[in-house]
Chain A
């Protein structure tokens, strides 16, 4: 065998390899662009004097923001969403951490069964199936049109998942850490605060963001439990942006959508920076 055919084969493979890479990059670019289009619309449409559902170079204006500011409920609804999100987060993180710690450390007969049952049922609580009973219970409790009712239902729906995830985090913390702290005189709450919570911090950070995102996007629960328009969160308010003729008011909707998506992104970056999704390792034994 001479050297020439070998080189030819090698050159052929290189060319084919190069073409394959180019084709792959092209296809991925097209797919990526398809996914990027709605996001581009989200950023451009609010600045367009006459936005439509198609994507076009905007006729730049800030009028839409001015119009949105005139709407008495728009900005307040973002505040309402924040209130509901943070409120649910506090309830869920505090109760979830306590319950997960107990579930992780105390032997209860049928513990795993309880957890799985809760997890399954939780998807029903905040889902469409339980809409009527949920409404009736909250009415009977006299909590209709109050944030307490909404917070309870939202937290109740999210808690089982949170307990499930946090229990896993706490299971991975060696018992010797707590026993060590106990020997120095620390009580259960002290141990939870000084030892368990700091080590489970990545889990707690994840749970916090996840809860806010869940509540932020939840439409059904506040929609059926809140009556007054000034109490509605953003996700429900968007539903009311119609023109007099009953057409969807794209100028308001697009502008509001941009404002609606901003806080979640900001919260994500702040929490990620401050608390970080870092993991502390134990000792291999």
Chain B
């Protein structure tokens, strides 16, 4: 068991492109940690750098109390499950699971015994003599996990662990992964582009963009207090409404309406300053009669989400998305008012896009 400590980590490709750009991250012992970001943001490169599959250009990497910046992949105490699972097609399930032990010159009988024990723990009973090609996607993933944990690694790395499974199986596998991680207590880092997956699984999330770390925090922190507009827009199943506007008379102007500045930002903004006002679609209420502080708006598009409806509205030139409970859905063209939950609003600097307050 070990924590991971990356300091000023840089991975530069030939040609000067930085896949990972001066990343500082501390992952605690036993933590379930997510690297989240859009494709090409460097999250997989960071994971592969931790594994040792990518040579680090600058900075240092410590696993446990050992500096492994230049250590061979096999000497870092890490195990990894690849996106395509990388099961050897010419070996049966038992040999696949026991392959790490074979490299460590463990005897054949002991290898088989360990493989069977680990396989049982991952509900792979009776499949030990099958070839990977004869298994379902979910079973293949469990074999890959079994192979990774068979050697009791200090750190478990998962590259997009759920992306090769179909939607229904994905939810099952998500629960399964979380249980497995808790039972083993192994420090686990996983890469995903799916914010819902990260929020559901991780103890803490690192959000990345263009090789740079944007924010590290618990799922609640990154959801409630995003550091900048990128994180605000990336986290959440419906992206946060971000409206560029100005501060007037101690309030935020949305057309004719003035909305109070978020708690904690009083005194940090001055009159006339351009800011970005952010509120999640879930925290806006759609009402059909005027209320104090409500923003007049007109519905343009209605999207059904099942238990709720997502409506797009126009409010004096600004576009908002609002989640409305299923029984009160308006029709396109309806006029009404938006009531923001004052405590849930955020303010970002228009230039730096950083959160104010």
Contacts and interface: CB of A to CB of B under 8 A. Distances in A.
Nearest to B53: A179
B100 A185 contact: yes
15 contacts: A176-B83, A177-B86, A179-B73, A182-B74, A183-B52, A183-B73, A183-B80, A184-B74, A184-B151, A185-B72, A185-B75, A282-B84, A283-B85, A285-B83, A285-B164
Contact of A183 (B79, B87, B102, B164): B79
Greatest chain A CB density within 10 A among B84, B99, B100 is at B84
B260 to A, nearest CB: 50
Given A176-B84, A280-B90, A182 B73 contact: yes
A176 B103 contact: no
Nearest to B84: A285
B53 A199 contact: no
A179 B80 CA distance: 9
Interface in A181-208: 181-186, 190, 194-195, 198-199, 201
Contact of A198 (B74, B90, B164): B90
Contacts of B88: 177, 194-195, 198-199
Contacts of B51: 179, 183
Contacts of A194: 88, 99, 102
A33 B151 CA distance: 64
B316 to A, nearest CB: 48
B140 interface: yes
Contacts of A280: 89-90, 133
A13 interface: no
Nearest to A199: B90
A32 interface: no
Sort chain B's interface into a size bin.
20 to 34
Interface of A: 174, 176-177, 179-186, 190, 194-195, 198-199, 201, 280-283, 285
Contacts of B73: 179, 182-183
Nearest to A198: B90
B82 interface: yes
Contacts of B89: 199, 280-282
User: Which 8 pairs show the lowest CB-CB distances between chains A and B?
Assistant: A185-B74, A184-B100, A176-B86, A280-B89, A180-B86, A176-B82, A198-B90, A285-B84
Contact of A186 (B74, B84, B133): B74
A181 B102 CA distance: 11
Nearest to B99: A184
Interface in B209-234: none
Given A176-B84, A179-B53, 8 more contacts: A179-B51, A179-B82, A183-B51, A183-B79, A184-B151, A185-B100, A280-B133, A283-B140
